[in-house]
């Protein structure tokens, strides 16, 4: 009887331990899903439209709670602009591409509702005054040619809309191309680079005609150590 009782107790202990592990895993998964849905989501930069602020291969974190609460699985957003703030000039935001909502775009807010925006010879004028934008990248070769993005406007940003642009002004499809962005479409504000990988850097060494992995190249050239943890402004 004693032996049977001991075995039963050990079996109960194993079941209890398994239950605790299972509950911990389930709770962790639920918390991760909640955080991703409501608070923070990771995105990877696939293009150079925001160079040199964001480079291809940068992995960023986006605060989805910055301007409101997106209700998962439905096209509804609980706006809390009065409590949490609203998109401001200079914010780097993520939103679904208006022409293809299955793709996410990242741009910088330049104009708010009521702002008068004009682009003349690559320079942006806000309400009549030239903007100081030290982060902007211009393509010198493009400047020598006729660019459809060199001049735009003037136009006034309508209510409930935003005027957004990429920092790489000559290589960005933005509001100059597809128009104003509905502010309710904004998913969140990008705030940090948590990982950066240069896919163009050589990752192999050659032994005669045989390529072999080069750990030194991967660690020193592939990973952009100086960008990891960088806060976005």
Beta bridge partners of 130: 125
DSSP string, 26-72: HHHHHHHHHIIIIIEEEEE--SSTTTTTS-TTEEEEEETTSSEEEET
3-state SS, residue 157: coil
Backbone angles phi, psi at 38, to 5 degrees: -115, -30
User: Which ranges of the chain does DSSP label H, i.e. alpha helix?
Assistant: 2-34, 81-84, 140-144, 175-178, 215-217
Residue 61 CA to residue 195 CA, distance in Å, equals 10
Q: How many CA atoms lie within 13 A of 73 on its CB side?
A: 2
Three-state secondary structure call for residue 177? helix
- Classify the phi-psi angles of 44: left when phi > 0, otherwise alpha if psi is within -120 to 50, otherwise beta: beta
Measured between alpha carbons, how far is 42 from 50 in angstroms, rounded to an integer? 17
How many Å is the Cα radius of gyration of the chain?
A: 25
The catalytic residues are 49, 107
């Amino acid at each position: 009887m004693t032996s049977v009782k001991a075995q039963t107790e050990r079996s109960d202990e194993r079941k209890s331990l398994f239950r605790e592990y299972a509950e911990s895993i389930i709770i962790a998964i639920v918390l991760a899903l909640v955080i991703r849905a409501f608070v923070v989501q990771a995105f990877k930069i696939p293009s150079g439209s925001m160079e040199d602020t964001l480079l291809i291969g940068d992995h960023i974190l986006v605060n989805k709670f910055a301007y409101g609460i997106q209700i998962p699985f439905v096209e509804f957003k609980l706006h809390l602009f009065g409590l949490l703030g609203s998109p401001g000039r200079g914010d780097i935001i993520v939103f679904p591409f208006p022409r293809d909502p299955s793709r996410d775009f990242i741009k910088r807010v330049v104009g708010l509702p009521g702002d008068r925006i004009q682009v003349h010879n690559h320079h942006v004028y806000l309400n009549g005054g030239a903007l100081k934008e030290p982060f902007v990248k211009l393509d010198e070769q493009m400047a020598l040619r006729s660019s459809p993005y060199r001049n735009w406007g003037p136009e006034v940003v309508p209510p409930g809309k935003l005027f957004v642009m990429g920092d790489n002004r000559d290589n960005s499809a933005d509001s100059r191309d597809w128009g104003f962005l509905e502010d309710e479409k904004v998913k969140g504000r990008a705030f940090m680079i948590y990982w950066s990988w240069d896919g163009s850097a050589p990752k192999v060494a050659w032994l005669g005609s045989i390529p072999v992995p080069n750990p030194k190249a991967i660690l020193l050239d592939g990973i952009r150590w100086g960008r990891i943890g960088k806060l976005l402004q």
